[in-house]
Amino acid sequence: MAIRSAKHVLDAAVEAARWAPSVHNTQPWTFSISGEEVCLRADTDRQLRVGDASVRELLISCGAALFTMRTVLRREGLEPVVRILPDPDRPSLLATLRAGADAAADNRADNRADNRADNRADDTTRMLAGEIERRRTHRAGFADVPVPDRLVERLVVAARGEGVDLTPVRSPEAAGVLAALTQAAQGVQAQDRRFSLEVIRWARPPGSSRKDGVPAEGYPRQRVRTDPDFPQRDYAWRHDWGSRADQKGAVATGVVALLTTAGDSRREWIDTGQALQHVLLHASAYGVSAAFHTQALEMDPLREFIRQEVCSGKYPQMIMRLGVTFDDKGSVRRPPVRAPGLRDRTEGPD
């Protein structure tokens, strides 16, 4: 495969980054290209002020977009040279990325570089890149089809490669604890009008032309219970929107898993997003989707309880279920937006 110019590859990387997952499909990022470098910035106008006051989930979302861009560069046979949080005076600048021919030399010049690729577009890289636009978030139960243990082990390795731990929750008791805490958090948030209004702000009605948020066909109209029961967000709160899809036979919980980090810094939140997208793309290639349950992690006392009692002191960054679904739902993404003074700026997603 012929290698395209760095300019065209960066354009492709930014276009692909719009397909990364983000909380409520808020798409809380902006991209600008200057010369042969992409700048990834947080778009705090899209922050969840109630559910994500710390911007932890926003930075996880942006980290997922960063991994997507790295994957596109690798696919083209180029080595991504990444700097995370390169300027303390500009906290919204989360990362810079460029295509480097000799990342090792760049790393010697600046030990903040994050260079994890080998410049070969191997089969795994091409596989991950092929799933960027196919991957979907699931918001209901899974089919009663087991996720192979061998695949789960590969996902653990994928997350570890980004400096993050993916831990499958094998104990029924531990899974039950996480389910109960998710139920408790969802119950508290459902009684808080601020939480509810923030969620439905991103729930799109049928026929909506918006290219962000969760479309009506992307969440069930009526709650689907699993065993143990991990409730989803109530995107259908006080209205009659949502999918009417038949959920019979699609109530399996799947594999409950946690993403955890040793610390709880902004850098580790971005790394969590990179690990998340690595895991999701790899899982998608084998027909496995993820459902997310971050309600308990949005409440400090519950998150601390999970850290101490379930995660052996590590910081829980994501609770998810992995499973097989035969739903083939679409998704929405905002198109690139040109900005004055920059060659390109893209604001772009679920």
The residue extents of the domains of the chain are 6-134+335-346, 149-323
Q: Is the pLDDT of residue 141 over 70?
A: yes
Which pLDDT score is estimated for 3?
Answer: 52
Q: Is the peptide bond before 146 cis (omega within 30 degrees of 0)?
A: no
Topology of domain 6-134+335-346, CATH: NADH Oxidase (3.40.109)
Q: Is 203 helix (H, G, I), strand (E, B) or coil?
A: strand
Q: Residue 89 — φ and ψ, nearest 5°?
A: -80, -10
Please check the confidence at residue 101 and state whether its pLDDT lies above 80: no
pLDDT of residue 35: 87
| Confidence bin at 38 (pLDDT 50/70/90) | very high
- Band (pLDDT 50/70/90 cuts) for residue 218 is confident
Task: Note the pLDDT tens digit of each residue in 167-189.
Answer: 999 999 999 999 999 999 999 99
pLDDT digits (tens, 9 = 90+) for 195-210: 999 999 999 988 889 9
Q: One fold for both 6-134+335-346 and 149-323? A: yes
Q: Write phi, then psi, for 17 (nearest 5 degrees).
A: -60, -25
What per-residue confidence (pLDDT) applies to 220?
A: 79
Long-range pairs for 124-129 at CB < 8 Å and ≥24 separation? 124/282, 125/71, 125/74, 125/75, 126/75, 127/281, 127/282, 127/285, 128/71, 128/278, 128/281, 128/282, 128/285, 129/16, 129/71, 129/72, 129/74, 129/75
Q: What is the DSSP letter of 66?
A: H
pLDDT over threshold 90, residue 264: yes
Tokens 């997208």 label which residue?
A: 277
The residue whose two tokens read 């390109």 is 344
Residue closest to 26 by CA, chosen among 201, 151, 219: 201
Model confidence pTM above 0.75:
yes
279-334 pLDDT, tens digit per residue, is: 999 999 999 999 999 999 999 999 999 999 999 999 999 999 999 998 777 788 88
Q: Tell me the residue type at 43.
A: D
What are the angstrom distances between the C-alpha of 192 and each of 23, 173, 195, 220, 296?
Answer: 19, 29, 6, 21, 14
Domain covering 149-323: architecture: 3-Layer(aba) Sandwich (3.40)
